[in-house]
Structure 1
């Protein structure tokens, strides 16, 4: 059976639209166990195989890394453009990235100390304060992936990726013109993460304040001014060298106590006479 790292693979099928389906178990009611559906019962059968528990204080970091990036999936990918104090430009992809909070709008970016491109990015952001996060879309994933090359300091990834610089509003670092959704950020805080056993800095956690959001008009949905995932065609990061695409989803309403509270209390009372 071919894997994503093999050569005997079917051709890529580009995302043409985002499709909504029913949720996995649309008939589920509060209080019902997972095993009340055939799919849930089959899922819970897997527990009979037992568990593997890793003690992170004793395992090798390489193993912990492999397990975490394969289990915490899919992850959004930040394609970060930064510039050094002496004008050298850097472009690097990061999957240790996400939103942190809304007010103020903060994103997080973890720069591992054992990664050259990550160290360059962290140094640049701490010295010049500004950077851009460019969401990667399917049509240019190969170009973005090539920016992860271990180029020596002073060699810009821009010309070797074939990507195009676009001006930012405030920060010196350029936007990626090919990216349809870009966050223009300034440094809010840089936190040095230390290994609790050695006290050595293992990563720099960048908190970025989002100053401007650049949205290409053709990826904005018809209602509410939000992004249409089928048009953005964002890629996600999996374990190993694997990526994923976003082409299908489903909606689940958030429950409100005013709608379910009485029934929940009744069921609790019935089960605890």
Structure 2
């Protein structure tokens, strides 16, 4: 089985696979930790029962083990016309034909504005994040109080959608206009809703022509506070309103938020 030669271009390095000489039936001999498979195996396993473990531990374990995760940067509008935009990394494609995607929105500590808005107005946009504006997108994960516009904080540009009320992000090289197909409530043991799995039909896809024939680097989520592209990794702390509100007020003035 032949492999392509190594090369580096446009910031992306293509290297040989970890074990280019592997053949069918050959067992694992080494790991990325510098140990043999047998040496790692001797260290044993840790088995976690999610229903019995601390939910915070399970969360940290899952976001570190299920990686990389694509990010849905979701724009929504409430019934009163107020706008919201926020990143969600429990996101993926469900079907190409019909074109359907899914986003999971946690209800911790309460139902997210994104969920409430989608339930009320049925439409939303999903915007794929790229490196040039990851800081702007990350700012929208701040725990801002009601009435504060994440759009204003981010400095991103609203671009009118064709079929849904929420705007798409003009800076995004790949955006989708979506309508709700189904919302599945994920129940906890006590009967309350832990999360809402939002399944949406994609009505329009907007792709910047410049990236159709060039290599682009969408941003994904890793464990902890780490983001990554296919060629790079970097850590950006999630902003907290209590720490950022003075800087935000100085930048925008309370009347403009």
Cα deviation digits, residues 151-173 of structure 1 (max 9, x gap): 22232211111000011111110
Instruction: Give the Cα separation in 2 of the matches to 1:204 and 1:160.
Output: 26
- Taking the aligned partners of 1:38 and 1:52, their CA distance within structure 2 comes to 18
1:233-273 C-alpha deviation (Å, 9 max, x unpaired): 2111111111112128xxxxxxxxxxxxxxxxxxxxxxxxx
Q: How many residues align?
A: 223
Which structure 2 segments of 5+ residues have no match? 1-8, 233-257
Cα separation, 1, equivalents of 2:90 and 2:31? 35
TM-score, with structure 1 as normaliser: 0.76
1:162 to 132, 155, 165: 155
**Structure 1 segment 249-260 matched on structure 2, within 5 A:** none
SS of equivalent to 1:65:
helix
Structure 2 partner of 1:64: 58
Q: Distance in 1 between matches of 2:178 and 2:37?
A: 42
Q: 1:206 aligns with which of 198, 206, 211?
A: 198
* 1:61-86 Cα shifts (integer Å, max 9, x gaps): 11110110011111111110011111
Residue in structure 2 matched with residue 10 of structure 1 by the alignment: none
Q: CA RMSD in A?
A: 2.0
Alignment match of 2:219 (pick from 227, 232, 235): 235
**Cα pair 1:34 1:41 within 8 Å, conserved:** no
Match of 1:85 in 2: 79
Q: Take 1:241 and 1:29, find their aligned partners in 2: how far apart are those partners?
A: 38
> In the alignment, is residue 215 of structure 1 matched against residue 199 of structure 2?
no
C-alpha deviation, 1:38, in angstroms: 7.9
Q: Deviations over 1:38-76 (max 9, x none)?
A: 869724532221111111111111111011001111111
Structure that is richer in helix per residue: 1
Q: 1:73 to 1:31 in 2, by over 3 A?
A: same
1:176 to 169, 178, 188: 169
Judged with a 3 Å threshold, the aligned counterparts in structure 2 of structure 1 residues 103 and 38 are, in CA distance, closer, same or farther, namely closer
Matched with 1:120 is 113
- Do residues 106 (structure 1) and 100 (structure 2) align? yes
> Based on CA coordinates, which of the two structures has the bigger radius of gyration?
1
- Where structure 1 has 5 or more consecutive residues not aligned to the other structure, the ranges are 1-14, 222-227, 249-273
Aligned partner of 1:138 in structure 2 is 131
The structure showing larger relative contact order (alpha-carbon pairs under 8 Å, at least 6 residues apart) is 1
Q: Which moved more, 1:172-181 or 1:152-161?
A: 152-161
CA distance in 1, matches of 2:68, 2:39: 24
1:19 aligns with 2:1: no
Using structure 2 for the length normalisation, give the TM-score: 0.81
Query: How far 1:115 sits from its partner (Å)?
Result: 4.8
